Amino acid sequence: DNGYKVRKSKVYKDADAGLLRGERDGTVTIESVRRYIDHPEAGIREHLDTAAAGDDLEIKEYHRRTAIAKMKNAELEAEKRQFDLERELGKWIPRADLEMEMAGRAAVLDQGLSSLVQVRADDWIRLVGGDPNRAPDLKAAMAEAVARLLNSYAQTDTFQVMFDEGEGAGDA
């Protein structure tokens, strides 16, 4: 009666998508139909407004741009909701937390490398017997130790880092 021309297949498709809600007995209330007509994803109101514009291309173009803007906005909202859900599920962490995690890991690596050299230096010197000709053995042993340390650095196990502001700039 109001001039809305909608194909039966579109109505059923939109009902399946949740744009038009029916009652349990299969009937549809006038209020549900009004909400359906005004729903931006259904596009019925925009279509009627565009058809009513007749040959006025400026009005048709306005309605076309409005429909596109509404669609893009709906897509952005869906993406935002998806991101929020993923963040709640723990797939994303705040940048500040990531930066603190990385800073902590870097401090652990730095301290680990420094400690490695201090603790193992005597072993490495004894390994080559102070002989410069055995430098390849020393390099291999050091590379293996560093590789083990870097492997443990790459693990996601929990560790604790305590920063003391009173220490020197190079200390961690």
pLDDT at 76: 94
pLDDT at 170: 47
How far apart (Å, rounded) are the C-alpha atoms in residues 54 and 60?
8
pLDDT at 132: 75
Residues 6+ apart with CB under 8 A from 127: 134, 137, 138, 141
How far apart (Å, rounded) are the C-alpha atoms in residues 19 and 16?
8
Q: Read off the amino acid at residue 20.
A: L
CB half-sphere exposure, 149, CA atoms < 13 A = 19
Q: What percent of the chain has pLDDT over 90?
A: 7
> Whole-number mean pLDDT of the chain?
77
pLDDT reading at 60 higher than 60: yes
53: pLDDT confidence band, cut at 50, 70 and 90? low
Looking at 38-42, 108-112, 143-147, 157-161, which range is the least confident one? 157-161
Looking at 27-31, 115-119, 168-172, which range is the least confident one? 168-172
Q: What percent of the chain has pLDDT over 70?
A: 76
How far apart (Å, rounded) are the C-alpha atoms in residues 62 and 50?
9
Element of type H or E holding 24? none
pLDDT at 41: 72
pLDDT reading at 73 higher than 70: yes
Of 113, 118, 109, 106, give the one whose Cα is nearest residue 143.
113
Task: Give the pLDDT confidence of 114-169 residue by residue, as tens digits.
Answer: 788 778 878 888 887 888 777 788 888 888 888 888 777 767 666 555 556 655 44
How far apart (Å, rounded) are the C-alpha atoms in residues 121 and 12?
78
Q: What are the angstrom distances between the C-alpha of 12 and each of 5, 42, 112?
A: 14, 12, 65
51: pLDDT confidence band, cut at 50, 70 and 90? low
Tracing tokens 């173009």 back to the chain, one arrives at 61
